[in-house]
Structure 1
Amino acid sequence: MGTWKTRGLRGSTLEELINRSNEGYREKGLALIQKIPTPITPISIEKESRHITLAYFDQKSTVDYIGAVQGIPICFDAKECGANTFPLQNIHAHQVTFMEEFERQGGIAFIILSYTHKNELYYLPFAHLKEYWKRMEDGGRKSFTYDEVDKSWKIGSCRDILVHYLEMIQKDLTGRD
């Protein structure tokens, strides 16, 4: 599969914020969301610190998080973007397929997208991702821009929940009725 060096830590700040938010949701009985670890095989380990410095992915990962919110299955991926253009190559075809199949089973799939240079987070419903993906497959842009993202899907914080995405899931559900 792919090789992992330090770039594997990209997105770790966003993931830490999401992990803390998920703990808050669990403590409040609102949701049970789990981070899915990416299985790796270590190749090189630094002797003193015992840190993995080189590894291979054992298999293709599906999404970063999976769980349930008030009985509704959800899955999502966390992505960071340091520019106004998000390259769709940062999302893999097998992830899109998994999310599509997940939604077909009655679940909700989405991306939490962090524009790090703007300090803004957005909930990207799978339907929106699928539009961008189809455009790419049809020979169009291989990315989408910040301006294309619907700003009504901006994720805020609420007291101790730093990435309060449950409101956006409710909005996503309402839009499906």
Structure 2
Amino acid sequence: MPTWNSRGLRGSTLEELVNLTNELYTEKNLALMQKIPTPITPVKIDSESGQIKLAYFEKDSTVDYIGVVQGVPVCFDAKECATDTFPLRNIHEHQIHFMRQFEKQRGISFLLVMFTARNEFYYLRLCELETYLARAEQGHAKNFKYEELNPAYFIKSQSGAPIHYLKGLQLDLQERED
């Protein structure tokens, strides 16, 4: 079983920004998104602070967020990348499987990728991820690079939303209709 440790807090800045964005979307009746907690079983708890020092994941998580945007079912995972090269190993097979299944039910699945060194955000469509995964299966690099990404899907802060990912979703939906 995987063990919980501080590495799980790597995405906390990104998570805070996404949570703020989701709160704004809820206030404006644009979307209703929920953070999906990863179920853990505490093994060792500090008796003084009550903090969990060691825990095991009870099961594989799905994605970080799930909800609905103006009647459209949406799920996504938020990932951080410190360099301009994103390793595909950062996306777990069970997450990819869930996103594929979600899209089979007419939902929209994507990743929000934060390139921390650039302080930039990218809306990675599942179909684009599938291209990188297929390429890796054919023996090519098991990653994708910042330079390869579609400039139209980079996300800016807008209308008070730190990560206005609804712009990426809107573009994604338009491309699916064409």
CA apart distance, 1:46 = 1.6
| Greater per-residue strand proportion | 1
Q: How does 1:87-106 map to 2 (within 5 A)?
A: 87-106=87-106
Q: Which runs of 5+ in 2 are unaligned?
A: none
Residue 110 of structure 2 is aligned to residue 107 of structure 1:
no
CA–CA distance in 2 between the matches of 1:134 and 1:49? 47
Regions of 4+ moved over 2 Å = none
Q: How many residues align?
A: 177
Task: Give the partner amino acid of 2:99.
Answer: M
Match of 2:3 in 1: 3
CA apart distance, 1:149 = 1.4
CA–CA distance in 1 between the matches of 2:101 and 2:30? 25
CA–CA distance in 1 between the matches of 2:42 and 2:161? 34
Task: Give the partner amino acid of 2:139.
Answer: G
Match of 2:24 in 1: 24
Paired residues of 1:15 and 1:78 also in contact (CA < 8 A)? yes
CA apart distance, 1:160 = 2.0
Residue 137 of structure 2 is aligned to residue 137 of structure 1:
yes
TM-score, normalised with respect to structure 2: 0.97
Task: Give the partner amino acid of 1:83.
Answer: T
Question: Taking every aligned residue pair, what percent have the same amino acid on both sides?
Answer: 56
CA–CA distance in 2 between the matches of 1:10 and 1:126? 23
CA apart distance, 1:138 = 2.2
Deviations 1:98-134 (Å, cap 9, x if unpaired)? 1111111100000000000001001001110111111
CA–CA distance in 1 between the matches of 2:31 and 2:129? 24
CA–CA distance in 1 between the matches of 2:127 and 2:28? 29
Task: Give the partner amino acid of 1:105.
Answer: Q
Task: Give the partner amino acid of 1:43.
Answer: V
Match of 1:171 in 2: 171
Task: Give the partner amino acid of 2:150.
Answer: D
Task: Give the partner amino acid of 2:20.
Answer: R
With 35-44 and 142-151 compared, the bigger mean Cα shift is at 142-151
CA apart distance, 1:139 = 2.0
CA–CA distance in 2 between the matches of 1:11 and 1:149? 21
CA–CA distance in 2 between the matches of 1:11 and 1:91? 13
Match of 1:69 in 2: 69
Q: How does 1:48-87 map to 2 (within 5 A)?
A: 48-87=48-87
TM-score, normalised with respect to structure 1: 0.97
RMSD of equivalent CA atoms: 0.9
Paired residues of 1:74 and 1:107 also in contact (CA < 8 A)? yes
CA apart distance, 1:141 = 1.1
Residue 14 of structure 2 is aligned to residue 14 of structure 1:
yes
Match of 1:121 in 2: 121
With 159-168 and 24-33 compared, the bigger mean Cα shift is at 159-168
Partner secondary structure for residue 164 of structure 1? coil
Deviations 1:143-174 (Å, cap 9, x if unpaired)? 11111111211111123211110111010000
Partner secondary structure for residue 118 of structure 2? coil
